[in-house]
Chains A and B, each alone.
Chain A
Amino acid sequence: MADESEETDKLRKIREGDVRTASRLIRNLEDDLPEAKSTIKRIFPHTGRAHVIGITGPPGAGKSTLVDALISSFRKKEKTVGVLAVDPTSPFTGGAILGDRIRMQRHAEDPGVFVRSLATRGALGGLSKAVGDAVHVMDVMGKEIIMVETVGTGQQEVEIINHSHTVIVVLVPGMGDDIQAIKAGIMEIADIFVINKADRDGANQLLSELNAMLNMAPEFPGGWRPPVIRIGNVFDSGPFGESLVELSAAIGDHHRRLMEKDLLGDRMRRKALMEINEALRDAILAPILKELAESGEMDRITGRLLRKESDPYTIAEEVARRFLK
């Protein structure tokens, strides 16, 4: 257990924006060290100032390229920026290639920008927990804008997006039927739609599909109808720059709307609920699973299930009776 003055020192350094201390803390959070959790307890009261922007969409949609451009546009407005770039862990080896950073390296030396890559690690609820806590760390560092990039292929990423105030869903033309599945999963969470690579065929069709869908929506919370913004080819700086201005304006408008209509309260309640859910899972379920595994009982239970001597529900009830009262 770290001593009191060491902890106070750590907290001070993070609040001063010290990258080394902050990135080490994020590392310890990912590795689920108990001492990292106690630091989060201390920084939690100081959180809640940043504007958190979630950016999701299918693989290769151009999310990182867009984040890179948004970093520049926020820096022009003298805002400090944190980026959490999430990439999947290989389920076979437990390793990961975190490649989002390549597109943002030109900002590496800017002290007003802090980019951190995270792997999903595939733990039960673990991804979203580490991301949520990493958002807290960057927030306490004083980053005014925090962007969270995740690959979104449907429902399972929605949870991560719950950490955000403003969710940008990035789509590209010509995705065929995939778009249907993606739309079903992430339609409701988008505050802003971006059609990326709008230089390609099919951009107009995608635009009208999205508009048709939005037209069918019964109502929009707070009266915010998600705008659909077409972003031109990154390699063609004129139109790209213009569409980026439009996107930044939409992000600003959305944030203002959240403030005015007290929609922020709803989002924050949703986030608080999710955080407590995850913390409970950690505090209650994890120790039970650990004990069952270590005592060898999990093997016995699995055996009973395989031999059909019992069923998962009965076993769960037995375990719950024993551990929870």
Chain B
Amino acid sequence: MSVATEVPTFLPRDRFDDLLQALAAGGRRVVGPTVADGAIVFADLERAADLPAGLTLATAPGRARLEPLPAGPGARRTFQYTVSGEGIKKFTFPSRVDALSMTTDLAGTVRVKVEAPAEPVPLAVVGARACDLAALAVHDRVLIGGPAVDPDYAARRSDLLVVAVECALASSTCFCATMGTGPEVTTGADLVLAELDDGFVVRAPSAAGGRIVESLGLAPAAPERVGKAAAQTAAARVAMGTDAIPANARDLLLANLEHPRWEAIAERCIACANCTLVCPTCFCTGQTVTSGFDGVTSTAARTWDSCFTDGFTQVAGGNFRPRHQDRYRQWMTHKFATWFDQFGTSGCIGCGRCVAWCPVGIDVRAELTAFAATAPAVAAVPLRDRGTLQPLAPPAPDALDFRRATVVSITPETADTSPLRLVTDDPAILAGTPGQFVMVGVPAFAIPPISISRYHPDGIELTIRAAGAATSFLTRLRPGATLGLRGPLGRGWPVETAHGRDVVIVAGGIGLAPLRPVIDAVLRDRAKFADVRIYLGARTPRERLFVDEIEALAAREDVLVRVTVDRAGPEWLGRVGIVTQLFKTVRGTGTDATAFICGPERMMAATATTLGDLGVPPEHMWLTLERHMECGVGLCGHCQFGSRFVCRDGPVFSAAELGDDLRREGL
């Protein structure tokens, strides 16, 4: 057995084919840079002759053009450029992979299966740069670092051999030296090549790399070759400089979320999404569902998506980031600010792809520098303390699994809303907590997130409003059908924190559904709480949910219930007006109260304001956010709300945790 060796060896240029053969041993697929379509494209690499010999890639904002190398001894070099438009992401995280298959038999038994990736083909990537490896490390953190694990990425990552190339020059768009990720290759590679005119200085930092060097029988590199290689990389570092972006970029952005510059950028940015799709760390995906005409089988493919699209934040009834400026702000703050809160690293590794491949040449470095010029002094923004209530779970291999539950009854409550009573003996579902939700899978449909609206000893209830295609379908199921459920997911209501305190529950419309388990929990342990008050709002009397249940509650001595509607009909004798007006009528909603609030976001913000005025401390006001969700487990990126993932850090947050973001437009 050979071991990793740091003694540099030399691979003469005419022996590069031997290296490729050694890599391909045992059926390993070898990919690397080739020339196609007027660009450098990573593809299968069979011979050294496939490499872009004698070419360089001249990049500038909005430009990446192949050009011949100047005549001279280095004119036949094959790696004399930096990064191409696509990195190695297309191999480790392809743009489209099968993620789920869903079937049902005619009896309505639904099966949702997480697709196991096809037996991963062992892969060797030739020509990855230092920044590519840094990006790979970021993806490792995001996609397999927990709490959920992307099975396809995990499989592709499990047998990857990396032959890195140390950059001999820097492009005008490169800024790895600023981001601390290059140009020297320090970690993550099995072999590291530094190209000279007549061949390559080879290092083998891993055992696998060492074995390849050994099999090739390479001689140690002469010290002058090693020195020359180091000198050209050092020169690349100097050429880039180390101050491409302001050092306090994160603080700058977070302190200037309402800066007029966002609007100015949005006039130039065409929201084409190219910057996100070429970025080697962007990981956002959607589920593309395809089905046959009968709707009994379907597959969902995990497909690259981008926060620059309208559909990204679309929910039934509206869009959270309608404007280009909201989307640009999401992109830039995610890369340079909130990524730190989420994953403990920068989301940008300085490859410059987003600069070169932006069709209109928007340069993130220039934009960040412009921010620094207009808002020079900002205080450091502390990293968000995530998971103060429940620590983040470690990576769970079964986090994506769908469990099964059977519909036993569907009883319409209003014209469009029906509770589904489900039975299951799945211990994980039964062990859910108030405020958690499930992703509901049936063949042919997108997988919507639905809150658990009651726990029973033998199952749960879901209260579903027919807001779109999937939810309409679910409310029309017949008893006996089974559903696939991913979950219970997320951080629910911290009911225990209200022990010994007054409890204020405020629900608007369907918002009562996720709060019902809170009411259940409070009543079960009634003695542990002081006063309990429930305020309910509905648009019209007919749209009130669980009317009988609420009347029974109202009849109790130990619970106060107030109901209001926006618009009354002739039959309505109760209150009319918005729910916040109800508090004014009640004494004692103050510092000793813990509030649990769910409804439309504006209603929750208004409620939080009113309750705050009455003295309820923000850390005792809990509300649950709604965002577009595709995965429910922190992998798809859709549900981001500033630095938070609503699916895994919430959906329940305290008003203190949300701060100003609760009222921020376009987040």
The reply to whether chain A is a binding partner of chain B is: no
B interface residues, Cβ below 8 angstroms from A: none
